[in-house]
Amino acid sequence: MGYWGHFLRSSLALAGAALLLALPAQAKLQVLASIKPLALIAQEVVGDQADVITLLPVTASPHDYPLKMSDHKRLRSVDLVLWVGPELESFLARPLGNIAADKLITSYQLAGLHWPDEVASDHQHSNHKHSGKDPHIWLDPRNAVLISAVLATRLAQLQPESAAIFRANAQRFAAAVQLLDQQLAQQLASVKEVGFAVYHEGYGHFVGRYGLHQVAYVTYTPERRPGARHLQELREVLAKEGRCLFMEPYYKAQGMEVMAKTLNLQIGLLDPIGEQQVSSYQQLLQQLSQSFLTCLADRRDH
C-alpha cells in the first residue's frame, strides 16, 4: 500500500473515530425548561448527562410570552419538557397540547406539592377572584426538591444507563436545598413581623414557607394595572403596617416610588426568576432572602 493508500485508510479511520465520538454528543438527551428556575433545578439533576435548554429569556414575563416559530420547533424536538402548567405559562397550554404525555412534566400537578395558606392575602379587599393556587411553586424549596426527584425518575426512564447518576444528583440537590432551607428560616426569623407589599402576587410560596408578613400586593399579575380603589387600599394598609415596598426588575408601576416616599417606606427589589446573575437554584433563593432581609431590616437608628 502506497502513501495515498495509507492516507486514505487513516483518513477513513479518523473520520470513523470522529463519527463515533460525535454520536454520543448528538444522542445527548435534551430537556427543555419553560423558565429559568426550572432550568436551574433541571441542571442539578442532569449534570453532564443531558442538555438543559431554557425556553423563555429571563427578561420575559412567564405570564405572557409570544412563542416564536423556533420555539415551537424546539418544543417538538426535545426529549422532555418541564413547565409549571397553564396556571402560569398559559401561552404554552396550546403548543404543549400536542406533545405526548410521557415527554412532559407539568410541575403544578405533581402530587405532594406544598401550597401556602390562603390567609396570606386577607388584607386585600379587592374584588378579583383568585384563579387557582399561586403557581410560583419553585419559591418553596420543598417543591424544588420534589420536582428534582420526579425529574430524576423520568430521566432514568429515558436514559436508563444514567439512572444512578440522575438519582445521586437529585439526592445531593435535595440535601443541599434542605440545609439552605433551614438557614433561610433562621435568617428570616428576625424580620417575620415586619409588614411589606410585593409588586405582583407571586411570592406566596416563599412568604408562606418562612412565615413573612406580607400585607398587600400592588398588582395580581404583572400585566394587570392596579385600579384606583386597590391602590387606595394598598396605601392604607402600608401606612398602617408597612416598612417596605418591593418592586421587580422589569415592572414599574407609575407612582409607586412616590407612594413609598410619602409613606416613608424602603423600596426593595425582588427577582422571582433569577434574572439577575443567578447561576444556581440555591443562589436564586439566597438572593430573594437577602432582598427581604435588606429591605425589612430596621434602619431607624442608622
Long-range contacts of 264-270 (CB under 8 A, 24+ apart): 265/238, 266/295, 266/296, 266/299, 267/295, 268/196, 268/244, 268/292, 268/294, 268/295, 268/296, 270/198, 270/199, 270/203, 270/246
CA pair distance 79, 73, nearest whole angstrom: 12
Positions that interact with Zn ion (CB under 5 A): 202
Residue 137: name the closest of 183, 180, 83 by CA: 83
Closer to Zn ion at the Cβ: 128 or 240? 128
Q: Provide, rounded to whole angstroms, the least separation between the CB of residue 116 and Zn ion.
A: 14
CA pair distance 80, 155, nearest whole angstrom: 8
Only one residue has cell 415527554, namely 103
CA pair distance 87, 130, nearest whole angstrom: 11
User: ∠88-70-82 over CA atoms, to 5°?
Assistant: 35
Closer to Zn ion at the Cβ: 222 or 242? 222
Q: Provide the greatest CA pair distance for the chain.
A: 93
Instruction: Find out whether 163 and 46 touch, Cβ atoms under 8 Å.
Output: no
Closer to Zn ion at the Cβ: 202 or 268? 202
Q: Provide, rounded to whole angstroms, the least separation between the CB of residue 34 and Zn ion.
A: 13
Q: Provide, rounded to whole angstroms, the least separation between the CB of residue 57 and Zn ion.
A: 15
CA pair distance 291, 89, nearest whole angstrom: 25
Residue nearest to Zn ion (CB): 202
CA pair distance 48, 247, nearest whole angstrom: 36
Q: Provide, rounded to whole angstroms, the least separation between the CB of residue 221 and Zn ion.
A: 6
Closer to Zn ion at the Cβ: 141 or 202? 202
Closer to Zn ion at the Cβ: 202 or 274? 202
Q: Provide, rounded to whole angstroms, the least separation between the CB of residue 42 and Zn ion.
A: 19
Q: Provide, rounded to whole angstroms, the least separation between the CB of residue 222 and Zn ion.
A: 6
264: left (phi > 0), else alpha (psi -120 to 50), else beta? left
Closer to Zn ion at the Cβ: 251 or 280? 251
Closer to Zn ion at the Cβ: 139 or 260? 139
Q: Provide, rounded to whole angstroms, the least separation between the CB of residue 15 and Zn ion.
A: 51
Q: Provide, rounded to whole angstroms, the least separation between the CB of residue 29 and Zn ion.
A: 29
Closer to Zn ion at the Cβ: 37 or 202? 202
